[in-house]
Each structure stands twice: as C-alpha cells, then as structure tokens.
Amino acid sequence: MENSKDLRKWLDDFQLSHPLVIAGPCSAETEEQVLEIAHELKDSDVSIFRAGIWKPRTRPGGFEGVGAIGLPWLQRVKKETRMLIATEVATAEHVKLALAHDIDILWIGARTTVNPFAVQEIADALQNTDKIVLLKNPVNPDLSLWLGGLERLYNAGIKKLGVIHRGFSTYEKTKYRNNPEWQIAIDLQSKFPDLPLICDPSHITGKRDMIQEVSQQALDLNYDGLIIETHCNPDKAWSDAAQQVTPSSLKQMFVELKVRKETDSEDDYSVRLSKLRMQIDDLDAKLLEILAMRMKAADSIGLLKKEKNVAILQNNRWNEILGRMILEGEEKGLSEEFVLKLFKAIHQESINHQEKVYKN
C-alpha cells in the first residue's frame, strides 16, 4: 500500500472535532427497533449508524440475522436521520445486496478475515468501489493475516480503507471477551500510520460496564474512532445482549471520555518527555542485559541436567516461580496478566536454550 496517505482522506471528509463514532445495535431485529435506536442517536456524536444484517454465529441455532429484508430499514435510517449507514458483509452476495441498497460503509468481520479466500472474494466483489471498507482483525492474534486482508482490498482498487480492532480470542480465561493485545494494533499502525484505526470495545470486553474503560484506553492510544453496540433495551437484544449499551448511556460516555492531544508544543513538555524517554531507553537496555544473563544461567542448568540425564521441564519448580513472581509483581504494581505473559515468555525461552544444549 504505497500511497497510504490516500487511506485517511475519507476520515478527513467528516471534519469532526471529536473521534469518529459508529453506533447501533449488534443486530437489526425489526424495522421499529432499528428506527427507534437511530432516532435516539441522531442528535449525538454518532456519525455512522451500524446494524448487523447477517450474523455469523459460532454454533448453529443462534440468531443469524434478518438478512436482506433489513437493508431497506437501514435506508430509512439514512433518509430520516441523515446518518451514514454501515453493516457487515461476509460473502460476495452480501456485498452485491449491500451495494444495491447504497450502504455507505461495509466491514469485514473477524471470522471472515481469517480466510484469505473469503477476503479475496469480497475484494473482487468490491473492485474499485468508492464505499468505505473496514477490516476487523482476525480472530486469532496474527498480524500477517490482518495485513494480508488489507493488501487484498487495496489491490482491488479500494482506497477508502480502515481497520477495526476488536480483540483476539485466547484459550486462557481473562477479564475480556477478546483480549485486546494492544501491541498488535500498534504494530499495524506503525506500518501504516495513515490508516484509520477504530476500536471495538463492545467485542473486546463483552461487558457493557467495561466499555467506557476500554474506549478511554483506545483514545489514550490515539485511535481515530470507536464502534459501540447500542440498543434501547439491551437485555432483550437478540444477540450479544451483555455488551450493548443504551443510547443514553452512550451519550453520557461521550461527556466523560477524554480526548488526548497527539503532542504538545510547549518546550517544557518536550524537555521533560525527552528525559523520561531517555530513562526508559536506558532501563530497556538494562532489561535486555539481565535477560541475557538469565539465559546464560539457563544454559548452565541445561548442561547440568544433560550431564545427569534429567528432564528439562520441572513443573513443580515452574509453578513455584510463577506463584512467587505474581505475588511480588502485585506488590510492585504489576498486573497478574502482565506477569503471567512475561514469565511464560521467559520460561519458554529458557526451555529453548536448554533444548539447544541437549542437542549439542
């Protein structure tokens, strides 16, 4: 995507004084439901109304969307509220129907992004469209898949591109429905700084009472916008009831969320920031030195185990270390989630070092 600056032009067209907000129900259920939510949102900071027409479900038997009959409902929303309208597409047929009903924004869901064949089929159906197309991250934490999907869309002549960060599935239980893995989205943004990046706190959290917290984290990381599931009666929603907020709750959230400046031109800020960054750079270098020393110790342990014909993995010892580090980390203000990730990575690298010793 050589001319990546072209990708941001569609966002600039909104001329917003606040981050872009896309909101609406997880699923379009009835025409009355869709219009009620839309009219509740039309005088807020919401720029784009979203509603799922086709809903890919993990297992059969769940509500899979009303289908094409819901597209005219979105057209009424556009006519009556003047908001742009958005929905998810998962097949070329979905694309054809959405374009025929003049849907303004189409997004490709996480389950579709994992399948290059499906993304290519959608890209071919969207060839040279002037519609805005947003690509959600794949279900699994794979930056290459996300980038590959973007490249397929860009190569199809689609210039109004953006991405939605909705978090990643994980086998381990966390407080999130889908672990944010913020670094993956940051890595994507580093490669394409002009690519609009939108956060989906509804799918990251899976819980309405956490949406504001994650939305603020996204704004603190300079995301361009938010996509938030909104329903007038969330507990009665036909899909994803737990993660939808009411329009009034969403409006209050807009009042409380703080938009950060990208930078500050004052000399004092620049000097202080430079000093703190130098401090971090120095500490990072020391961290690498300490980790290198730890791996040398792991090499020595590997030599001793090899000499005595002892297995590399010692589960009791590992569980003891992990429990102790979690407690010590909490005392030093480090979250259990961070300590677990850090020491699992260190432990895996130690095992790799000892395996090399065994092979030599």
Q: How does pLDDT run along the chain (360 residues), one tens digit per residue?
A: 665 566 788 888 887 777 999 999 999 999 999 999 999 999 899 999 999 999 887 778 778 899 999 999 999 999 999 999 999 999 999 999 999 999 999 999 999 999 999 999 999 999 999 999 999 999 999 999 999 999 999 999 999 999 999 999 987 778 899 999 998 999 998 899 899 999 999 999 999 999 999 999 999 888 999 999 999 999 999 999 999 999 999 999 999 998 877 667 777 787 788 778 878 988 898 899 999 999 999 999 999 988 889 888 888 888 999 999 999 999 999 999 899 999 999 999 999 999 988 887
What residues does 254 pair with on adjacent strands? none
Residues 6+ away with beta carbon under 8 Å from 344: none
| 330: three-class secondary structure by DSSP | helix
* Residue 241: exposure state from Cβ atoms within 10 A (0-12, 13-18, ≥19): middle
How far is it, in rounded angstroms, from Cα 74 to Cα 53? 9
Domain boundaries, the chain: 4-256, 267-359
Total Cβ atoms within 10 A of residue 36: 16
Q: Which amino acid is at 96?
A: K
Q: List helix spans (H) across the chain.
A: 9-12, 31-41, 71-81, 92-100, 110-113, 116-125, 143-155, 182-191, 201-205, 211-220, 247-256, 267-307, 315-331, 336-359
Q: How many CA atoms lie within 13 A of 61 on its CB side?
A: 1
CB of 113 within 8 A of CB of 136? Answer: yes
CB 167 within 8 A of CB 177: yes
DSSP letter assigned to residue 82: -
The domains spanning 4-256 and 267-359 adopt the same CATH topology: no
Per-residue confidence (pLDDT) for residue 196, from 0 to 100: 95
CATH number of the domain at 4-256, please?
A: 3.20.20.70
- What does each C-alpha distance from 321 to 173, 301, 314, 316, 350 come to in angstroms? 21, 16, 11, 9, 13
Question: Which amino acid appears at position 161 of this protein?
Answer: L
Please state which architecture CATH assigns to domain 267-359.
Up-down Bundle (1.20)
E-state strands within the chain: 20-24, 48-50, 84-88, 105-108, 132-136, 161-165, 197-199, 225-229
Hey, is 86 helix, strand or coil?
A: strand
Report DSSP state, residue 46: -
pLDDT value for 4 = 58
Token digits of residue 72: 């005219």
**Are 72 and 101 spatial neighbours (Cβ–Cβ below 8 Å)?**
yes
Of 48, 78, 18, the residue nearest 253 (C-alpha):
18
